[in-house]
Structure 1
Amino acid sequence: MATIFLSEVVGTAMLLLLGGGVVATAILAKSKGLGGGWLLINFGWGLAVFAGVTVSYSSGAHLNPAVTIGLLTTQSVTIGQAFVYWGAQMVGAFIGAVLVWLTFKQHLDAETDPGAKLGVFSTGPAIRNYGWNLVTEIIATFVLVFVVIGFGRAGDPELGSPAGLAALGAVPVALLVVGIGASLGGPTGYAINPARDLGPRIAHALLPIKGKGSSDWAYAWVPVVGPLIGGVLAGLASGALLPLPV
């Protein structure tokens, strides 16, 4: 359990450092990457996932409570293991957000838009409608978790499957995240990960960020509840749509 916890903390911290970092690079005043745009953010998050998964290999690299709850639904992890994963993911996400703050402190201080400051740490909807925002997060996270489960089964030689995907390691998951961001990320900024949004949002609330404004707690439940529902649905659907060999 200790190995799982440490591995998930390290991997999730790496994920949030690089993911939050690419957002800061693209949107903060005086950044050399200012105006980098949506695709830069998409690819940056994909590479953040690649790095996070690579360094957390010993825990299976969940890095996301929605992935963990999906695997719990398929009985791939126990409830006790799930709580260890969830705790580690939250700790790692908070640490990663603090490292982003340290890296970009001068740029956060120079930025005059409180919304941009918050956007470095957590997601927000383009059109605020909690019900439809929730639907978007459910669908996007379903795609993530369902395909991640498919990667695992498609790369498992014990299931009679080719090992090609397993040999590629973190690359398929990274490309999947880029694809989700490019295709489904526009409405909500695609949290698709409760820890990715909640951990940094807590950091935003606690850190001494100049002129930071609200942490938007009214919206904070959407990127937590939506991904968890999407993860459960993906786990359930995988049993029928990604059946194991008899």
Structure 2
Amino acid sequence: MSSSDIFIGETIGTAVLILLGGGVCAAVTLKRSKAKDAGWLAITFGWGFAVLTGAYLAGGVSGAHLNPAVTIGLAIEGGTKWSDVPLYLASQLLGAMIGAVLVWAVYYGQFHAHLTDPEIAKTKDDSPAGPVLGVFSTGPEIRNVVQNLVTEIIATVVLVLAILTQGLNDGGHGLGTLGALITALVVVSIGLSLGGPTGYAINPVRDLGPRIVHALLPLPNKGGSDWSYAWIPIAGPLIGGAIAGGLYNVAFA
């Protein structure tokens, strides 16, 4: 697998993942959206289908990691070369940022309608998170550093271990067709079962890339980007991916 394959596959695959995943969050959150208030089921299945689509697109090119936690887990397991890890991570972050910008472009009118609505504009909220930050990144329902970090670690261990044990690495060549479907269903399951406390980032770039875009976009009344929390959906999934890789080598290799 060449460096250009990794760059192209991971950038495009992650961009599509965030476009569709962030898109369902925007659809459910923003005023003047036909899917407004569709609820948690719509979000969890939307993210599952986003993973499925991104994996199908990138699987034959880069292996469709689309997630630094997966890349770290595969590197520890031995299916990905450590020398390729920086390129995977950089491509995934770039793709996540592109995907977030595309969500903004698709929902441009809805963002404006939502953030200029008098009820939103006059709301006084002491939370560090802005009124549309949830479209871009995750946040906890209860702010408890230990609980939030442990939640992200456990959820990511489930994801990465499921990938490794389903044979999705395929000798380092990436996700198979059935493997992509299984992974998507695992993501839905994690969202339904473990997503309530933190919004289940389970992917550092899924959270960091869109959070950076939220901070940069010229959105009126957008509020803060909650940088004080941002390290948890980065550290938790990375730790979880490393633990999953180690568990795989001990228990399944």
Per the alignment, residue 124 of structure 2 pairs with none
Q: Tell me, what secondary structure is at the counterpart of 2:167?
A: helix
* Equivalent in 39, 45, 48 of residue 46 of structure 1: 48
Residue range with higher mean Cα deviation, 79-88 or 190-199: 79-88
Q: Tell me, what secondary structure is at the counterpart of 1:35?
A: coil
Per the alignment, residue 117 of structure 1 pairs with 132
Contact kept? 2:10, 2:91, Cα under 8 Å = yes
* Equivalent in 173, 191, 201 of residue 191 of structure 1: 201
Give the whole-Å Cα distance in 2 for the aligned partners of 1:232 and 1:32. Answer: 40
| CA RMSD, 1 decimal | 1.6
Per the alignment, residue 80 of structure 1 pairs with 83
Cα offset, 1:115, TM superposition: 3.5
Contact kept? 1:151, 1:166, Cα under 8 Å = no
Contact kept? 2:44, 2:188, Cα under 8 Å = yes
* Equivalent in 153, 157, 161 of residue 142 of structure 1: 157
* Equivalent in 187, 192, 206 of residue 177 of structure 1: 187
Structure 1 unmatched ranges of 5 or more: 159-164
Contact kept? 2:27, 2:34, Cα under 8 Å = yes
TM-score normalised to the size of structure 1?
0.92
Structure 2 unmatched ranges of 5 or more: 121-128
Task: From the superposition, tell whether residues 40 and 116 of structure 1 become closer, same or farther in structure 2 (CA, over 3 Å).
Answer: farther
**Percent identity for Structure 1 against Structure 2:** 55
Give the whole-Å Cα distance in 1 for the aligned partners of 2:58 and 2:179. Answer: 12
Per the alignment, residue 161 of structure 1 pairs with none
Contact kept? 1:93, 1:199, Cα under 8 Å = yes
Cα offset, 1:167, TM superposition: 4.9
The C-alpha deviation readout for 1:19-78, integer Å capped at 9, x for no partner, is: 000000011111110110001000000000011001101111000000001111112212
Contact kept? 1:66, 1:193, Cα under 8 Å = yes
Per the alignment, residue 234 of structure 1 pairs with 244
Contact kept? 2:130, 2:225, Cα under 8 Å = no
Contact kept? 2:163, 2:179, Cα under 8 Å = no
- Pairs aligned (count): 235
Per the alignment, residue 70 of structure 2 pairs with 67
Q: Tell me, what secondary structure is at the counterpart of 1:141?
A: helix
Contact kept? 1:66, 1:231, Cα under 8 Å = yes
Cα offset, 1:152, TM superposition: 1.4
Give the whole-Å Cα distance in 1 for the aligned partners of 2:244 and 2:177. Answer: 24
Cα offset, 1:211, TM superposition: 1.0
Q: Tell me, what secondary structure is at the counterpart of 2:52?
A: helix
Structure 1 residue ranges (4+ consecutive) displaced by more than 6 angstroms after TM superposition: none
Give the whole-Å Cα distance in 2 for the aligned partners of 1:32 and 1:69. Answer: 38
Contact kept? 1:30, 1:110, Cα under 8 Å = yes
TM-score normalised to the size of structure 2?
0.89
Q: Which amino acid aligns with 1:233?
A: I
Cα offset, 1:110, TM superposition: 1.7
Task: From the superposition, tell whether residues 167 and 63 of structure 1 become closer, same or farther in structure 2 (CA, over 3 Å).
Answer: closer
Per the alignment, residue 107 of structure 2 pairs with 104
Cα offset, 1:127, TM superposition: 0.4
Per the alignment, residue 213 of structure 2 pairs with 203
